[in-house]
Amino acid sequence: MFLLAVTLKTMFFEYPWPLVAAVWVTALFLFFLARSRADKRLFRSAVTAFSLGLVIIILSLTVTTENETVKARTKAFVATTAPLDIKQFNTFIEPFAAVVGPNGDTWITYDQLQTILPNLHKYFYFDSQYTTVPHTESMRTGNIATTVIVRTKIGEGYTFKSEWTLLWKKDPAGNWKVVEIRFDKLQNKPPTKGVWNV
């Protein structure tokens, strides 16, 4: 039931175009069928189907889902790292948030991150890209996870890629904040703890 609800929400509000296309193709088919048969009932069905497609588009444009909110916050959060704005960065994460390894072991605490992150930016140039990937297990507990792919350049030379998962949770004020940053991959392989030491 939960998966059905998630699928319907995604279909109607987040990615409605395949559904709209299917509805309008049906409307077009009914319209030509109504013309060939001079059937007013089929014509009314075609108009109804076309109207339904319009309603779905309007709903998708006016209703913002939690996943879309987190996607927008992920984009804004990533923007605080390139270039680094540590004060803005901290407004997106909880003070108990930590960087963890692929297995969930804590690698960097919030306090350590305040020192390590600015230090990294002295040596590396961050060019961040992101993509939203809903995790069913996380969403079931009220959280949403997003994946961030970071391309990092050492000076003007070598570029390497890392992949991170941000776990977002809504705070009591209703704001989505990062409660965990998981370091998943470095150059498509599991990272090693301490790799950020420079």
Kindly state whether residues 130 and 175 are assigned to the same domain. yes
Pairing of strands 93-100, 176-186: parallel
Please give the tally of structural domains in the chain. 2
Asked, for residue 75, whether it belongs to a domain, the answer is: yes
Kindly state whether residues 153 and 172 are assigned to the same domain. yes
Asked, for residue 196, whether it belongs to a domain, the answer is: no
* Residue 74 amino acid letter: T
- pLDDT of 127 higher than 80: no
pLDDT of residue 1: 46
pLDDT of residue 75: 85
Mean pLDDT of 109-127: 78
Instruction: Decide: helix, strand or coil at residue 170.
Output: strand
Please choose, from the candidates 82, 90, 144, 147, the residue with its C-alpha nearest in 3D space to the C-alpha of residue 113: 90
Cα(16)–Cα(57) distance, integer angstroms: 7
Pairing of strands 124-131, 144-154: antiparallel
Asked, for residue 161, whether it belongs to a domain, the answer is: yes
Enclosing domain of residue 36: 2-62
- Residue 61, Cβ neighbours under 10 Å: how many? 10
DSSP 38-50: T-HHHHHHHHHHH
Kindly state whether residues 122 and 46 are assigned to the same domain. no
pLDDT of residue 4: 42
Mean pLDDT, the chain, integer: 80
Q: Given pLDDT bands bounded at 50, 70 and 90, which one contains residue 154?
A: low
Prediction pTM value: 0.70
- pLDDT of 6 higher than 50: no
Phi and psi angles of residue 62, each rounded to the nearest 5 degrees, phi first = -100, -25
